[in-house]
Amino acid sequence: MKRITLLTLMAAPVIFFASCGSPEGSEATVAEPTAAVEAPAAATYNVDAQNSLITWKGSKVTGSTHEGTIKLSDGSLKVEGGQLVGGNFNIDMTSLDNTDLKGKDGYDKLLGHLKSDDFFGVATHPTAKFEITGVTAKSGDANATHDISGNLTIKGITKNLTFPAKVTLDATNTNATASFFFDRTLYDVKYGSTNFFEGLGDNAINNEIELKVDLKATAAAL
């Protein structure tokens, strides 16, 4: 089974975005973009950007890993009949951070490389985004209540991803968590990939990225 860890990156002498072995989470199904959900009658829950977070983890083919966080800037979820039906959120790519090297040698070099055009081109693409295109209830999985489909845009490239998520909600709060991985090269993040570069040896970086999303939202005041 492939393995990764979002939206997984960096290097030792270089940077990388993936990992090897079995990753935590499920492999996202990838398709071309589809229309976002329109739910004009649904209640709005505003994303709590301060308490929501995306974590990523990545590794070289040797198994060495790096991990970090990315913050959300804003967004909203749509709830109708007590069920999540749609929504979207924006991801602040300028907040991309590495946690395992923080305060250590190599931190600035790694973070600068991740934000460069070799990886996420943050200066040109400071925002990534996700918009829900489908929500399907599921059973028999203690870690997931729904399959979520949505258009994920990174570096101006949009793909539709489907992955399992656990959604809990009440009259005032919604919490959605998910752990999944996908192929970074679909978003023109090709640095260190053996698909595009030869002779990398131990410096090769796996293609998959693992993301863990913890999204919190609060019902908008009427």
30: domain CATH number is 2.40.128.110
Number of independent structural domains in the chain? 1
Is 116 part of any domain? yes
Is 40 part of any domain? yes
Number of helical H runs and strand E runs in the chain: 1, 11
Whether the predicted pLDDT of 130 surpasses 60 = yes
128's CB contacts (< 8 A; 6+ apart) are: 7, 90, 91, 93, 152, 153, 154, 155
Give residue 163's pLDDT band: very low, low, confident or very high (50, 70, 90): very high
Q: Which residues pair with 43 in a beta bridge?
A: 79
Is 7 part of any domain? no
Is 192 part of any domain? yes
- Among residues 204, 64, 59, 184, the alpha carbon closest in space to that of 119 is found at 184
Is 2 part of any domain? no
pTM of the model: 0.87
SS3 149: strand
Q: How far is Cα 137 from Cα 131, in angstroms, rounded to an integer? A: 18
Question: Which two three-digit tokens encode residue 116?
Answer: 């460069």
Q: Look up the domain containing 157 and give its range.
A: 26-219
Average pLDDT over residues 194-208: 79
Please tell me the predicted confidence (pLDDT) of residue 181. 93
Is 105 part of any domain? yes
Give residue 202's pLDDT band: very low, low, confident or very high (50, 70, 90): confident
Question: Which two three-digit tokens encode residue 66?
Answer: 């790096």
